Amino acid sequence: MTDPIIRIEGVSKSFGNFEVLKDLSFTVAPGEKLALIGPSGSGKTTILRILMTLEEINGGGIFVDDEPLWHMPKNGALVKADEAHLHKMRAKIGMVFQLFNLFPHKTVLENVTLAPMLTKGTPKAEANALAMDLLAMVGMADKASQKPAELSGGQKQRVAIARALALRPKIMLFDEVTSALDPELVEEVLNVLRKLADETDMTMLLVTHEMNFAHDFSDRVLFFDGGRIVESGPPDQIFTNPQEERTQTFLRKIVAAGQRI
């Protein structure tokens, strides 16, 4: 069996007195497509934000590609990571946000070329060619010269995906990427994710409320509640034959809200 690309070991995280993650442990295999589902506030977004180094952990450890994420070796011990270590580790990970977070003062093309040019020193012509390939992959090549304000929500999110891919990360994190979209725009973004999942061997972690998509997309589903993993397993098992009562209740509510699973 191959070594996991992500190892989360006893991670805890609190915001003030609210403990969001409680002694959380799980691993992700290279190339695995993992769906994180669960009610709001269950900690699933927090774990993505911790992996992207947007939130610090309060306890435990995380290893990405066999290297500690929030710690670094120094004089034979693991100490808190400095900015240089975090910078090195971030290069392995890309993230797409719920609210896109495109840079509004830059064109679509510049949004995608910025990171390769600034962080890898990729020459402009090469960065442009790479960006155009990525924009073509997400169906946005014809909008390269436009500003984000001129795009629909779905188009913005497709550009955000291209931007995150531009650094060729080993791991991609998708945080409720369709939650801010009008229903008719959801499918265009999900199609891009399907394509990515089918055509690349990237490890992908997806936080979503689209259960049907989570079922089709993922190799494994983690059901979160109260900062813990309540149940995990292949999508068929989780969605058609959940073992835990909390999972069953959650899925019943989702079905009652009108979603097909």
Partner 1 sequence: MWDWNFVWQIIPQLADGVVITIQATVLGTIIAMIAGLGLAIARRSRNKFIRYPFGFAAEFIRGTPLLVQLYFLFYILPDLGILLSPMVAGVIGLGVHYATYTAEVYRTGIDNVSKGQWEAAKAINLSTRQTWTQIIIPQAIPPMIPALANYFISMFKETPLLAAITVLELMNQARSVANYHYKYVEPMTMVGAFFLLVSVPSVIFLRRLEKRFAPKLR
Contacts with partner 1 by CB under 8 A lie at 52-54, 83, 87, 90-91, 93-95, 97, 99, 101-105, 114-115, 118-119, 163-164, 166-167
CB of 42 to partner 1, least distance (A): 21
CB of 54 to partner 1, least distance (A): 5
CB of 261 to partner 1, least distance (A): 31
Strands 33-37 and 18-28: unpaired
Show the tokens assigned to 10: 């006893």
- CB of 93 or CB of 185, closer to partner 1: 93
- Of 219, 206, 137, 171, whose CA–CA distance to 67 is shortest? 171
- CB of 1 or CB of 84, closer to partner 1: 84
Gap between the Cα atoms of 203 and 68, Å rounded: 17
Gap between the Cα atoms of 11 and 102, Å rounded: 30
Gap between the Cα atoms of 254 and 248, Å rounded: 10
CB of 90 to partner 1, least distance (A): 4
- CB of 64 or CB of 230, closer to partner 1: 64
Assess contact for 68 and 78: CB atoms under 8 A: yes
CB of 13 to partner 1, least distance (A): 16
- CB of 54 or CB of 255, closer to partner 1: 54
- CB of 97 or CB of 217, closer to partner 1: 97
Gap between the Cα atoms of 141 and 202, Å rounded: 22
Gap between the Cα atoms of 72 and 160, Å rounded: 30
Query: Strands of 220-225's sheet, edge to edge?
Result: 93-96, 171-175, 203-207, 33-37, 220-225, 228-233
CB of 48 to partner 1, least distance (A): 10
Give the length of the chain.
261
Gap between the Cα atoms of 140 and 254, Å rounded: 32
- CB of 87 or CB of 253, closer to partner 1: 87
